[in-house]
Amino acid sequence: MFTNTLFLLSAALTLGGAVAVVYSQNLMHACIYLLASFFGVAGLYACIGADFLAATQLVVYAGGVVILMLFAIMLTGGTGNNINRYGLEKIAAMGNKKTYFFAGFTAIITSLILLKIIANILRVETSAVLTPNLPTVERIGTVLATDHILAFEISSVMLLGALIGAAVISRPRKERHD
């Protein structure tokens, strides 16, 4: 019953957020809808027992990518229209019925996702048979640190290169006076 409810609510949040991203006229609102869609995908991962993927979805995508996009939108000024005196895009005031509904729905989904992840971690198996729904974090960490260490290190060097490249691209250019 709990898993079915979590699945239906997560699927609704994922699809609703994705449709809202497509039809949103405001770039800031589209980022918030994308965040809701990412939370729904994390719930879907929790439904199938992939607790590591659910936590990674919440931390990396919902926590990192969307915040990075929001900072980029705020620092660049957004779309250029409807800009206030500080150079930031004006957003609608919070507190209407629609925002309360979406915030409540997202809070319910988030709490169900966290409950499912915690239930998978705290569950004690009485049989000696390994089932596919056991927590996967320990197994993934062991495989990454033993069998796939080279790929793990190569990806970390590539991410470092991307970070250095982003810093070089974003630094201010100095004007040359010849």
Task: Supply the mean pLDDT for the chain.
Answer: 77
Q: Which pair of structure tokens corresponds to residue 33?
A: 């809808």
Question: Can you give the pLDDT at residue 79?
Answer: 52
User: Has residue 110 been placed in a domain?
Assistant: yes
What is the tens place of the pLDDT at every residue in 142-178? Answer: 887 888 888 888 888 888 888 888 777 777 777 766 6
Instruction: Output the CA–CA distances (angstroms, integers) from residue 74 to 15, 46, 134, 167, in the order listed.
Output: 26, 32, 41, 18
Q: Which pair of structure tokens corresponds to residue 170?
A: 């974003």
User: Has residue 143 been placed in a domain?
Assistant: no
Instruction: Output the CA–CA distances (angstroms, integers) from residue 103 to 23, 69, 94, 99, 135, in the order listed.
Output: 19, 20, 10, 6, 29
Q: How confident is the model at residue 137 (pLDDT cuts 50, 70, 90)?
A: confident
Instruction: Output the CA–CA distances (angstroms, integers) from residue 24 to 1, 68, 70, 100, 135, in the order listed.
Output: 34, 19, 15, 18, 37
Instruction: Using the predicted structure, report yes or no on whether residue 37 has a pLDDT greater than 70.
Output: yes
User: Has residue 106 been placed in a domain?
Assistant: yes
DSSP secondary structure string for all residues of 20-80? HHHH-S-HHHHHHHHHHHHHHHHHHHHHTT-HHHHHHIIIIIIIIIHHHHHHHHHHHTTTS
The total domain count for the chain is 1
User: Has residue 138 been placed in a domain?
Assistant: no
This prediction has a pTM of: 0.54
Average pLDDT over residues 15-37: 86
- CATH at 120: 1.20.120.1200
Containing domain of residue 112, as a range? 2-127
What is the tens place of the pLDDT at every residue in 63-109? Answer: 777 777 777 777 766 555 555 555 555 555 556 677 778 888 888 88
Q: Contact at 8 Å (CB) between 91 and 28? A: yes
- d(CA 34, CA 57) in angstroms, rounded, equals 12
User: Has residue 98 been placed in a domain?
Assistant: yes
User: Has residue 144 been placed in a domain?
Assistant: no
The region of weakest confidence among 55-64, 105-114, 135-144 is: 135-144
